[in-house]
Amino acid sequence: MFLGIVDIIADVHGVNQSSFYLLFRVLVLTYNITYSSFGEMKNMDVRVVEVLGLCQQDPVNFRRENCSCRSRDMLSPQGLLYKQPSVLMGRTNVVTVTPWLAPIVWEGTFNHLIVDSIYKPMHLSIATTVFAVGKYVSFLRDFLETAEKHFMVDFKVRYYIFTDRREDVPAVVLAPGRNVTIIPVPGSNRWQEISSRRMEMIQTTIENQIGKEADYIFCLDVDTKFHGRWGAETLSRLVATIHPGYYEQTHEHYPYERRPASRAYIPAGEGDYYYGGATIAGYVMDVHKLAKYCHEQLEADAANSIEAAWQEESHLNRYLLYNKPTKILSPEYLWQDFKAKNNEVQIIRFSQVNKNYAEVRPNVKKRK
Ligand code: UD2
């Protein structure tokens, strides 16, 4: 009714309706701040923030039209024929859902025909960050060439390559709708610092650029190759990947940070899965929140002269223990080339290549 009255007043006075709505909402907010309870005020605040074109989830001023917190309808086309899903038959040798009801994605838990028919028409923009600092630039060609074959095929993808060696970035042929942006970063004498600093750079690049350009973001290690489909089945609000080294173990064997002095501390007796730092994904806003958290915790530790057991991966694991991911990728999505394939892992989609640490890391001594 109020909006009807606003329409009439706007017509009578010949005022542009959207400006009038905006003014009206701001007046209502002022009224609420003055007279209503905190709960009502908070709700109204959210609505006005939306009207003003900002996203309410974060203090950073992301534009509303680029805000990935809006969910979309899961529309499936009529006439699509596929194997009927069963409620009785499915994977039996792996767990496919967490105790908080997030799916764990394994081969056999999704039908790519249905997934693609739902997500491809959404015309999503996918940001993919990859750091290639120092000698790690040599991994880029394989990473990009195999990504073009398997990673989010038919989606709009922009690779954000963070490097101190721009001139060594290989020219790889990309499919239409896929692009590269190079982001210059300083080098470092410590591999631990390079790995950790990714969080800060992801945070600031989301604030300055990616937040305006993408719906979803993937943050991936570069010393890797894609071997099989990695598609829209991996999209969700906050996505983590089970580390291939620990999925058969219980949490007392995880390399969590166990020193209470570190901000990454996880007390004995607590834990879900051990997540790999090599793949983090989700809505841009949610990954921004995670990256900002890890960056702040890394800084706090540095101020106290402590470095967590596995740098940013330790802080990531603490964050994900208390901020549960909405989807989990099985070790199919993060394998290691030196590990033999086993029965549970029916397909290896993405794997860390074997590397000579002394050769590629700046602060690892070469063996004589
Ligand atoms: C693990 C994680 C990694 C990270 C690290 C802890 C997996 C499989 N890997 O891998 O994600 O959490 O532990 O810090 O979960 N980089 C450079 N230049 C360097 C060093 C690193 O660009 O000189 C970048 C590069 O993108 C690389 C990433 O940092 O892929 C991680 O470094 P790493 O692969 O050497 O770490 P690693 O193998 O210990």
What value, to the nearest 5°, has the Cα angle with vertex 144 and ends 336 and 111? 70
pLDDT range class, residue 45, cuts 50, 70, 90: very low
Output the residue whose Cα is nearest ligand 1's atom 33: 195
**Least confident window among 33-37, 292-296, 317-321, 335-339:** 33-37
CA-to-CA separations, 13 to 6, 17, 20, 179, 359, in angstroms, rounded? 11, 10, 10, 49, 74
Mean pLDDT of the chain: 85
Asked if the model's pLDDT at residue 168 lies above 80, the reply is: yes
Asked if the model's pLDDT at residue 9 lies above 80, the reply is: no
How many C-beta atoms surround the C-beta of residue 224 within 10 A? Answer: 23
Q: Would you state the structure tokens that stand for residue 3, as one six-digit string?
A: 């909006």
279, 348, 351: which is closest to 320 by C-alpha? Answer: 279
11-24 tens-digit pLDDT: 334 344 455 444 44
Q: Is the CB of 205 under 6 A from ligand 1?
A: no
Q: Would you state the structure tokens that stand for residue 218, as one six-digit string?
A: 């993937």
pLDDT (0 to 100) of residue 35: 35
3-state secondary structure 177-228: CEEEEEEECCCCCCHHHHHHHHHHHHHHHHHHHHHHHCCEEEEECCCEEECC
pLDDT range class, residue 47, cuts 50, 70, 90: very low
Q: Over range 39-66, report the average pLDDT.
A: 36
Out of 136, 164, 189, 195, mutate this one to test ligand 1's pocket (max ligand atoms within 8 Å of CB): namely 195
Catalytic residue among 313, 332, 344, 359: 313
Q: Over range 178-195, report the average pLDDT.
A: 91
Q: Is the CB of 68 under 6 A from ligand 1?
A: no
Asked if the model's pLDDT at residue 37 lies above 90, the reply is: no
pLDDT (0 to 100) of residue 26: 44
Q: Would you state the structure tokens that stand for residue 266, as one six-digit string?
A: 């996880």
- Cα atoms in the Cβ-side hemisphere of radius 13 Å centred on 342: 12
Residue 336 phi, psi (nearest 5)? -130, 130
Find out whether 296 and 312 touch, Cβ atoms under 8 Å: no
Report the DSSP beta bridge partners of residue 336: 352
Q: Is 313 a catalytic residue?
A: yes
pLDDT range class, residue 365, cuts 50, 70, 90: low
Q: Report the percent of the chain where pLDDT is more than 90.
A: 74
DSSP strand pairing (224-226 vs 350-352): antiparallel
Cα(35) to ligand 1 centroid in Å equals 53
pLDDT (0 to 100) of residue 188: 87
pLDDT (0 to 100) of residue 219: 98
Cα(132) to ligand 1 centroid in Å equals 10
Find out whether 280 and 219 touch, Cβ atoms under 8 Å: yes
Query: pTM of the predicted model, to two decimals?
Result: 0.83
Q: Over range 33-59, report the average pLDDT.
A: 33
**Distance between CA 102 and CA 292 in Å, rounded?**
23
Q: What is the dihedral of CA 269, 290, 142, 137, to 10 degrees?
A: -110
Q: Higher pLDDT residue, 195 or 31?
A: 195
Q: Over range 16-35, report the average pLDDT.
A: 44
Asked if the model's pLDDT at residue 33 lies above 80, the reply is: no
194-252 tens-digit pLDDT: 878 999 999 999 999 999 999 999 999 999 999 999 999 999 999 999 999 999 999 99
Q: Higher pLDDT residue, 63 or 120?
A: 120
Q: Higher pLDDT residue, 72 or 111?
A: 111
Q: Report the percent of the chain where pLDDT is more than 70.
A: 79
Cα(198) to ligand 1 centroid in Å equals 10
Residue 77 phi, psi (nearest 5)? -70, 145
pLDDT (0 to 100) of residue 50: 28
pLDDT (0 to 100) of residue 362: 84
Asked if the model's pLDDT at residue 53 lies above 70, the reply is: no
**Least confident window among 21-35, 90-104, 338-352:** 21-35
96-139 tens-digit pLDDT: 999 999 999 999 999 999 999 999 999 999 999 999 999 999 99
